[in-house]
């Protein structure tokens, strides 16, 4: 098992939650903390133990399918297939869309970007946008982008802690001010910005838009942007999302729990969203997982014992072929 150093990303819309959570001082507004990443140029490094400082890519080179799982290793080779991050939106993110695998490969990227959001916290009245609130066509889309009226065509949802949203490629979306979110996604950093409220970048110029690529990526009839329904069940994993790219469960634990991963054939990530817990597995160094941290459990691990400090909530993330 391994814990990783967060990769911090300054964003003009970022805030102070990430710095407080990680207990660090940072110049500039922190918009994202990449907790686990194999994206070139932003590859996670091990935080402690005998592998301290090793990049995730080297761990995969060393352990191969014992880390990723047999089918994942066949599918992804030496690449880590997910990017898991925290997003602190003190200001609104741009209206944007992500490509699917086909379009991503066409523009020279290895993967599209399917993602999900789990709301960690939200200011009173905080909202996000997901999907159009009516069908539009490409011609109208160009007009709406030019006038800035695109915002009026989005599904807006007030959000609360624990809300879950699934964002397939091609779905227009925007995270509003006051949202603090955990995001699980394919290993991709491709974003097509549609509208950005006229904000200026570090160079003093309006941040670039990608409306032509966005028009190619968009599903113009994507109108269902409601949060996913689920019922929390203490001490029992509850499925939130099941897709070809990742499966995510939420666990709220008050008692020690044994998780059997022997049939999973996948690495497992545990992202602590509240509280702390002791994580133990045979022949591995026990680790305490704190809120805002992630542990990567190799696919060769059969059983993991999770002992919560008090009430402990975590996302359990893996790829089920």
From the list 70, 193, 207, 274, the catalytic residue is 193
Reported as type and span, the H/E element at residue 260 is strand 257-260
Catalytic residue at 193?
A: yes
Mapped onto helix, strand or coil, the DSSP state of residue 3 is strand
Total residue length of the chain: 321
DSSP 128-173: EEEEESS---HHHHHHHHHHTGGGGGEEEEE--TT-EEEE-TT--E
Alpha-carbon distance of 217 to 173, in angstroms, equals: 13
Task: Output the CA angle 161-179-308, nearest 5 degrees.
Answer: 40
Q: Which residues pair with 119 in a beta bridge?
A: 181
Alpha-carbon distance of 178 to 126, in angstroms, equals: 5
Q: Tokens 């990567």 map to which residue?
A: 296
Alpha-carbon distance of 80 to 110, in angstroms, equals: 12
Pairing of strands 154-158, 127-132: antiparallel
Q: Which of 83, 93, 266, 245 is nearest to 169 (CA)?
A: 245
Residue-wise burial string across 299-318, b where 16 or more C-beta atoms lie within 10 A, e elsewhere: bbbeebebbbeeebbbbbbb
Q: Please check whether residue 312 is in contact with residue 256, taking contact to mean a CB–CB distance below 8 angstroms.
A: no
75 contact partners, CB below 8 Å, separation of at least 6: 81, 321
Q: Which residues are marked as active site?
A: 193
């Amino acid at each position: 098992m391994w814990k990783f150093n967060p990769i911090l990303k300054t964003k003009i819309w970022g805030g102070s939650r990430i710095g407080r959570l990680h207990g660090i001082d940072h110049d500039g507004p922190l918009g994202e903390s990449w907790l686990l990443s194999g994206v070139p140029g932003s590859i996670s490094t091990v935080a402690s133990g005998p592998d301290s400082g090793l990049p995730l890519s080297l761990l995969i080179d060393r352990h191969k399918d014992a880390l990723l799982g047999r089918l994942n290793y066949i599918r992804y080779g030496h690449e880590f297939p997910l990017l898991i991050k925290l997003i602190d939106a003190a200001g609104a993110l741009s209206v944007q869309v992500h490509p699917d695998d086909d379009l991503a490969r066409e523009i020279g990227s290895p993967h599209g970007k399917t993602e999900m959001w789990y709301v960690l916290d939200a200011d009173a009245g905080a909202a996000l946008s997901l999907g159009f609130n009516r069908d539009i066509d490409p011609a109208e889309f160009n007009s709406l982008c030019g006038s800035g009226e695109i915002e009026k065509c989005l599904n807006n949802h007030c959000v609360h802690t624990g809300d879950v949203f699934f964002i397939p490629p091609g779905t227009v979306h925007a995270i509003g001010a006051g949202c603090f979110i955990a995001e699980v996604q394919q290993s991709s950093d491709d974003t097509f910005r549609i509208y950005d409220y006229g904000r200026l970048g570090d160079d003093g110029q309006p941040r670039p838009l990608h409306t032509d690529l966005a028009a190619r990526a968009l599903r113009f009839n994507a109108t269902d942007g409601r949060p996913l329904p689920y019922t929390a069940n203490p001490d029992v994993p509850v499925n939130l999302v099941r897709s070809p790219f990742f499966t995510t469960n939420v666990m709220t634990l008050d008692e020690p729990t044994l998780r059997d991963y022997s049939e999973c054939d996948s690495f497992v990530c545990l992202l602590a969203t509240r509280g702390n817990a002791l994580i133990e597995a045979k022949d591995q160094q026990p680790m305490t997982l704190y809120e805002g941290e992630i542990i990567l459990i190799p696919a060769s691990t059969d059983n993991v014992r999770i002992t919560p400090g008090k009430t402990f909530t975590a996302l359990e993330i893996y790829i089920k072929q």
